[in-house]
Amino acid sequence: MGFQPVYVVDGARTPFLKGRNAPGPFAASDLAVQAGRALLIRQPFAPTDLDEVILGCASPSPDEVNIGRVVALRLGCGHRVPGWTVMRNCASGMQALDSAMANIQNGRSQLVLAGGVDALSHAPLLYSEAMVRWFARMMQAKSIVQKAGVFARLRPAQLLSPVIGLLKGLTDPNIGLLMGQTAENLAWRFGISRHEMDQFSVGSHQRALAARAGGRFDEIVPLVDGQGQVYGEDDGIRADSSVAGLGKLKPFFDRRYGRVTPGNSSQITDGAAWLILASEAAVERWRLRPLGKITDSQWAGLDPAQMGLGPVHATTPILQRHRLGLEDIDLWEINEAFAAQVLGCLAAWESDEYCRTQLELPAALGSLPRARLNVDGGAVAIGHPVGASGARIVLHLLHALRAARARRGVATICIGGGQGGAMLVETSE
């Protein structure tokens, strides 16, 4: 049986809030609940009519490990609607969509709320292994004398040097590289200059600013914190971003020879994004008016040290199945984990050597039209809450296609650990 399209009925996301070296105002479940409530309240069906809730999250807090179920209950879906969590690093939100599609296609579900969330500013600080062992010895000590002896061996540096959980999460355990170091690999492989990266990043901010001014982020629903403060828009987009300004920043991942800086990388961000997916039967039953449909999806694996090229490996099979070229896609969303990573993907498709040796193509696939890529900015400007980004780019792509009166788009994302994910979408007629 071929791929059966699944309809995207509606969607919503929170503003993406930049992490500022301290926990942000919202926990991950709060983000998902506020966006989900705003989305569900405008539907003709009740939350209890959903067949399941699937939420992608790369870094759930210890008290919300199955955050999908936690959020489903808080959204009023009731005890009978299953809620579950998926994790595929940067593509967790896209994996939630893919899992929902699979269940719809095999008939187990008709109407699914799926999306992604992460509150990366709440990533924990961890004790070092040496400190954990010290706690263990203290717990084992029975007498006051024994405890005093253990306490005397405590070194202040053990307490004052916590392990940053986010950095551990962004480090590949198989190759020992931070994700930014894999972006450096692509910059060197394809000869991408620091100026090119910074120029691309400035463009991301400029496109996002233009989209905001033009009302093209209407999928955003505002957040309200416990003190009544309203957060209405992405707060990492900078009107003052310039190549000259970014040029003053020092490389972060390779301080001596590197080109990747915080300014040409995606931002550490908190945010959530949801989509409602439906079968054709559900669309007819509830008289829904879909935004569009997902017509194909693909996952791929590659060398973790080159993980940023995942979109190339995931998208190419889709294009081949549908006999499409890069120029046949009306709009593209390539998640901007790093400017070097997006530019590396474009260079890989243009490379005869890469396409022949890595994709088993007879020649280079060609050039992706830059004017069709991330037309409203990307994660360098908007932010990259890891679990949410895969869902965000699919949702915004559908909105962007409709605004442009275009038909077909590809949303694709690189994945830490050496993977890529891609989805082909079409707008509804």
- Asked whether residue 429 carries a pLDDT value surpassing 70, the answer given is no
Rounded CA gap, 426 and 152, in Å? Answer: 66
- Asked whether residue 52 carries a pLDDT value surpassing 60, the answer given is yes
- Asked whether residue 299 carries a pLDDT value surpassing 50, the answer given is yes
Q: Tell me the CA distances in angstroms from 91 to 117, 186, 212, 389, one per residue in order.
A: 11, 20, 25, 7
Rounded CA gap, 302 and 310, in Å? Answer: 7
Q: What is the dihedral of CA 331, 313, 267, 277, to 10 degrees?
A: 60
- What pLDDT does residue 89 have? 96
Rounded CA gap, 200 and 203, in Å? Answer: 5
414: exposed, middle or buried (Cβ count in 10 Å: 0-12, 13-18, 19+):
buried
- Asked whether residue 32 carries a pLDDT value surpassing 80, the answer given is yes
Round the average pLDDT of the chain to a whole number and report it: 94
H or E stretch at 396: helix 386-403
- What pLDDT does residue 2 have? 62
The answer to whether the pTM exceeds 0.85 is yes
Instruction: Work out the angle between the directed axes of helices 92-105 and 386-403 (0-180°, nearest 10).
Output: 70
- Asked whether residue 372 carries a pLDDT value surpassing 90, the answer given is yes
Nearest to 197 by CA among 342, 308, 332: 342
Once rounded to an integer, what is the mean pLDDT over residues 4-22? 93
User: Which residues sit opposite 54 in a β-bridge?
Assistant: 84, 114
Q: Any idea how long the chain is?
A: 429
- What pLDDT does residue 175 have? 93
Q: Which residue has the tokens 């790369």?
A: 58
User: Which residues sit opposite 115 in a β-bridge?
Assistant: 55, 274
Rounded CA gap, 211 and 403, in Å? Answer: 11
Q: What angle do CA 201, 204, 208 make, to 5 degrees?
A: 150
Rounded CA gap, 81 and 39, in Å? Answer: 17
Instruction: Return the SS3 of 411.
Output: strand
The answer for residues whose C-beta is within 8 angstroms of residue 136's C-beta and 6 or more apart is: none
Are the beta carbons of 337 and 307 closer than 8 angstroms? no
The DSSP output letter for 337 is S
SS percent in the chain: helix, strand, coil, step 5: 45, 20, 35
- What pLDDT does residue 1 have? 47
Are the beta carbons of 211 and 217 closer than 8 angstroms? yes
- What is the bridge-based pairing of β-strands 269-278 and 17-18? antiparallel
pLDDT digits (tens, 9 = 90+) for 103-149: 999 999 999 999 999 999 988 878 888 888 888 988 999 899 888 88
Q: How many CB atoms lie within 10 A of CB 288?
A: 18
- Under the banding of pLDDT at 50, 70 and 90, the label for residue 165 is confident
- The string of DSSP letters for 241-290 reads --HHHHTTSPPSSSTTT----GGGBPPPEEEEEEEEEE-HHHHHHHT---
Q: Residue 137 corresponds to which tokens in the numbers above?
A: 């010895």
Mean pLDDT lowest among 137-151, 238-252, 361-375, 400-414:
137-151
Rounded CA gap, 189 and 357, in Å? Answer: 14
- What pLDDT does residue 311 have? 98
User: Which residues sit opposite 117 in a β-bridge?
Assistant: 272
- Under the banding of pLDDT at 50, 70 and 90, the label for residue 330 is very high
Q: Residue 243 corresponds to which tokens in the numbers above?
A: 């190549």
Instruction: Return the SS3 of 116.
Output: strand
Once rounded to an integer, what is the mean pLDDT over residues 67-76? 98
- What pLDDT does residue 235 have? 94
Active site residues: 90, 384, 414
